[in-house]
Structure 1
Amino acid sequence: MTNIRVKHTLIDERSILELLQGYNLGPISRCSFLTRGLNDTYLIITPRKQYIFRVYRYGWRNKEAIQFEIDALQHLKNKTFTISHPIAKRDGTYLNEIDAPEGLRYGMLFSYSQGERPAINARNAQLIGESLGKLHHKTDDFHSEYNRGFKIDLNHLLDEPTAMILPVINKFFGKKVEGDVQEIVENLKTGLRNKELEIGFCHGDFHNHNMHVENGKIEVFDFDGAAMGFRAYDVAVSWWNLLTNYGEKEEECWEAFLKGYSSQRTLAKDDFASLPLLITARRFWLLGTMLQNEDVWGTNWINKQSLELFILQIKTDMIREM
């Protein structure tokens, strides 16, 4: 019999229930697998409350990186910022060690964000902008003794993804197009280096898919991409989401988002000017992340059509930036 190697296992709900015995949750009515992404998410239902249990992907975030995330979430909770926050076990710790076939993984229980994903309209866009402004304001004094393992900087957004992307571009389109893409990357890096950008704690993936709204209040979750870095990147991700997924509402909602953000925090001139560049950087980061994690997204989508769209988007971005 051939010995198999495992990239990623889906842990049975019965094993999750065993891990939950370490918490003061009382009777558990249901544990169900909710969604697979860069991490695996389970919905936990008790007679009184709902929770989220996350199992971190092996090799994606190490223990120290997750401890950084816990510190950030605790900081925001203490500052009364509405988030899905980690729930401690009876022994006061947060992490569960899971001896999975592929290696050591970590699990953590979170509070459940009530409500639903915000529909994109001017009112909600303003609320989302206000929420991001508050998040940045309340983390101005945040620090952690733990090393996150990355920063939201040029290396994370451009250098690392480009190392994954260029060989694929070369494979489908040849050296000429690869060179064109590399030139765009160098122009982005030059443009961003020439700006004095605010550095601080960032959510890293701030858009309406990572929050719920209930009774006019936004609650934010999924800080898996959070780190120290370019604050303007958080703003740019929200704009990227409007441009990419809600084009017909982009102008009105972008104006509303900026109104909300500026009601809580001033966006400096260089930070504002960097936003179009960071939208393009977001495209590189996302494509690189998808290529890096083929056990999440597979490889069927890696084809000439999807890559032509990426090239068109980054070239169109550069025209808008000029």
Structure 2
Amino acid sequence: MAGHLSRHFLEALEARAQEAIAHWGLADARPELLKYRENAAFRVTLADGEPAALRLHRPGYHDVSALRSELQWMTALRDGGLAVPSAIAALDGRLLVHLDPTDEFAGQHADIVSWMQGTPLGESGASLVHGSERQVVLFHAVGAMMADMHNLADRWSMPSDFKRPAWDAEGLVGERPVWGRFWDCKGLSDEQRRDLDILRYRLRRMLDGLPRGELDYGLIHADLVRENVLVRDDGVAFIDFDDAGFGFRLFDIATALLKNRNEPHYEVIKRSLIAGYRSKRPLSDAALSALPIFMTLRCLTYIGWFAARPEVPGVETRLRRYANEALLLAQALPVPA
């Protein structure tokens, strides 16, 4: 995740991490960089010897209210019995610490959350290592925990100042989507731009035409990809709530399925996840019929995400690949009457 970073930047990043953990009384600890993506994430060892995760948040991605809200929801889920990280307070009691600008970094926030034991369900771009029988068990567990998360979200008394992004129609295919204007990205061909723009308007009409009573909407994780699902002896755990917000619950299901669609046992995966979800929360066949729409929408979001991060290796190739995949997925969408 960090192989593309220069040695100078890595050294600066490690120094920034040292600056952050001093607020938790860990000045002598040695942070270990785990990934540099949305945030810079480090493994650190707390004073009691337990591991934890330090996050240096990407400057400008979320403001302090949104970051605080993320931690509040994670805490509510943890209090509700779900296996998710929880915030660890700094010495002065703050859950978020502000780090002043330096020559290398803009001003940003840092936090430390509890370490979640487990092995990632899979890795993007690599086939699942689990056999088909194990996949049934794991994806049933993912679906059931996803439903538990949605149930807890609906019962939770949200703070009045709670603030998270909205993965609604505007946030997905409006003029300013959450992850950027996917139809208007540098690196796409003229043909791709044209076809994606047409698809955007088509999807907007389809979303607006869906029966309101069939669409379940509320707080969602929004990024339940393989890397963010940990396999444990007692089931599964969810990590990385950085993109959590308000959205269609089918968006969570689509996210968990999208990068598995080329697996040999994809139909098993899909059936198992949906069965797990339905074991804890209603999901009608009418609502599920809209899943192809959300699979396409989810694929489109990655185009804008990569376009906003030109430092990622192979970004132009990935942009074009996701554009082609989204247009391919769109072929399965219902034909307008």
Q: Say if 1:212 and 1:164 are closer, same or farther in 2 by CA, change over 3 A.
A: same
Partners of 2:216 and 2:264 lie apart in 1 by: 31
Partners of 1:200 and 1:172 lie apart in 2 by: 33
Which residue type is aligned with residue 236 of structure 1? A
Root-mean-square deviation (CA, aligned residues, Å) is 2.4
- Determine the structure 1 residue equivalent to 2:239: 221
User: Displacement, 1:261?
Assistant: 0.9
- Determine the structure 2 residue equivalent to 1:309: 321
Asked if the contact 1:203–1:225 (Cα under 8 Å) also holds between the matched residues in 2, the reply is yes
Partners of 2:327 and 2:52 lie apart in 1 by: 43
Higher helix share: 1
User: Displacement, 1:114?
Assistant: 0.5
User: In percent, how many aligned pairs have the same letter?
Assistant: 19
Which residue type is aligned with residue 181 of structure 2? M
User: Displacement, 1:177?
Assistant: 4.7
Which residue type is aligned with residue 290 of structure 1? F
- Determine the structure 2 residue equivalent to 1:3: none
Among 100, 105, 108, the alignment partner of 1:105 is 108
Partners of 2:16 and 2:75 lie apart in 1 by: 27
Which residue type is aligned with residue 195 of structure 2? D
Q: Say if 1:208 and 1:168 are closer, same or farther in 2 by CA, change over 3 A.
A: closer
- SS of 2:62's partner is coil
- SS of 1:293's partner is coil
- Determine the structure 2 residue equivalent to 1:5: none
- Determine the structure 1 residue equivalent to 2:166: 151
User: Displacement, 1:270?
Assistant: 4.4
Partners of 1:44 and 1:307 lie apart in 2 by: 34
User: Displacement, 1:21?
Assistant: 3.5
TM-score normalized with structure 2 length: 0.82
Partners of 1:132 and 1:294 lie apart in 2 by: 32
Deviates more, 1:262-271 or 1:203-212: 262-271
- Determine the structure 1 residue equivalent to 2:77: 76
Partners of 2:322 and 2:41 lie apart in 1 by: 29
CA deviations over 1:129-162 (Å, ceiling 9, x no partner):
1111111111112323235352011222223359
Partners of 2:246 and 2:15 lie apart in 1 by: 37
Asked if the contact 1:158–1:284 (Cα under 8 Å) also holds between the matched residues in 2, the reply is no
Structure 2 matches for 1:101-250, cutoff 5 A? 101=102, 102-118=105-121, 120=128, 121-142=135-156, 143-159=158-174, 160-161=176-177, 164-168=181-185, 173-174=189-190, 177-195=192-210, 196=212, 197-243=215-261, 246-250=262-266
Does residue 1:34 correspond to 2:52, yes or no? Answer: no
- SS of 1:125's partner is helix
Structure 2 matches for 1:47-58, cutoff 5 A? 48-58=49-59
Q: Say if 1:50 and 1:181 are closer, same or farther in 2 by CA, change over 3 A.
A: same
Which residue type is aligned with residue 225 of structure 2? H
Partners of 1:12 and 1:307 lie apart in 2 by: 27
CA deviations over 1:20-48 (Å, ceiling 9, x no partner):
243367x9653212210011011102563
Question: Gaps spanning 5+ residues in structure 2: where?
Answer: 1-8, 123-127, 129-134
TM-score normalized with structure 1 length: 0.86
Asked if the contact 1:44–1:52 (Cα under 8 Å) also holds between the matched residues in 2, the reply is yes
CA deviations over 1:278-305 (Å, ceiling 9, x no partner):
111111111101111224x15x4315xx
Partners of 1:319 and 1:111 lie apart in 2 by: 43
Which residue type is aligned with residue 312 of structure 1? N
Which residue type is aligned with residue 310 of structure 1? Y
Asked if the contact 2:53–2:114 (Cα under 8 Å) also holds between the matched residues in 1, the reply is yes
User: Displacement, 1:219?
Assistant: 1.4
Q: Say if 1:172 and 1:282 are closer, same or farther in 2 by CA, change over 3 A.
A: closer
Partners of 2:18 and 2:256 lie apart in 1 by: 36
Q: Say if 1:146 and 1:270 are closer, same or farther in 2 by CA, change over 3 A.
A: farther
Which residue type is aligned with residue 117 of structure 1? P
Partners of 1:29 and 1:311 lie apart in 2 by: 43
Question: Gaps spanning 5+ residues in structure 1: where?
Answer: 1-8
Q: Say if 1:75 and 1:307 are closer, same or farther in 2 by CA, change over 3 A.
A: closer
Q: Say if 1:172 and 1:224 are closer, same or farther in 2 by CA, change over 3 A.
A: closer
Deviates more, 1:216-225 or 1:54-63: 216-225
Deviates more, 1:307-316 or 1:105-114: 307-316
